[in-house]
Structures are given as structure tokens and as C-alpha cells.
Amino acid sequence: GQNIDQPTEMTATEGAIVQINCTYQTSGFNGLFWYQQHAGEAPTFLSYNVLDGLEEKGRFSSFLSRSKGYSYLLLKELQMKDSASYLCAVMDSNYQLIWGAGTKLIIKP
């Protein structure tokens, strides 16, 4: 079956760096997405990786290793507003998105 694994919850300190991991097993691969979802709100797009390597976008970076079925989202200079759930999703060979359950990130002052 198809599976996306990510930690349920993580805690980090304001100003610090946190890495949220995502491992996947899917039928084919057509890209990996990260979305941010604040409590009670809709998910919003953060990043898309289809080739191996690191994509940097401001304070957020996303890394992909297709051979290892692994990605991470790196958040630098954490701010209180970064408290949210982070959703990892993989597009399979049929261009269907398979979603992880999300990682709830708690930022402490």
C-alpha cells in the first residue's frame, strides 16, 4: 500500500531551527509537496520538490532524496506564527496526491 510517515508533533523554541521529516512509499513518484495548515484554517502551499536536492525559499527549505523515499522541511529563525501543522504529500504515478497525517509544530517562547 501507499504510505506517508511524518512525526505527529514537534516542539521547538522561537528563533531556533527545526527539521520535519517525511518518509514515503508510493506507487510511482511525480513530486512531493509541503503545505502549512494553521488550526481551523485551510492548507496553504509551501514547496514542491521533484528532483533530488534542496529548495530554499526564505526561512523555509525543503529537501528530497528519491532513492531513500525521504524529504524534510527545514524552518529557520522560528517565529510564533510558524506554530501550525505541516502536511507532506506525494503525487503518485496516477497524479493522485497521497497525504501524510501532518506534523503539529508547537513553538515556545
Partner 1 sequence: IAGITQAPTSQILAAGRRMTLRCTQDMRHNAMYWYRQDLGLGLRLIHYSNTAGTTGKGEVPDGYSVSRANTDDFPLTLASAVPSQTSVYFCASSDSTAGGELFFGEGSRLTVL
Q: Does 99 interact with partner 1 (rule: CB under 8 A)?
A: yes
Q: Does 11 interact with partner 1 (rule: CB under 8 A)?
A: no
> Which residues, numbered 49-78, are part of the site for partner 1 (CB under 8 A)?
50
Q: What is the 3-state secondary structure (H, E, C) of the chain?
A: CCEEECCCEEEEECCCCEEEEEEEECCCCCCEEEEEECCCCCCEEEEEECCCEEEEECCEEEEEECCCCEEEEEECCCCHHHCEEEEEEEECCCCCEEECCCEEEEEEC
Q: Does 48 interact with partner 1 (rule: CB under 8 A)?
A: yes
In the complex, what is the shortest distance from the CB of residue 86 to partner 1, in angstroms, rounded to a whole number?
A: 12
Contact window for partner 1 (CB under 8 A) among 14-22, 54-62, 72-80, 93-101: 93-101
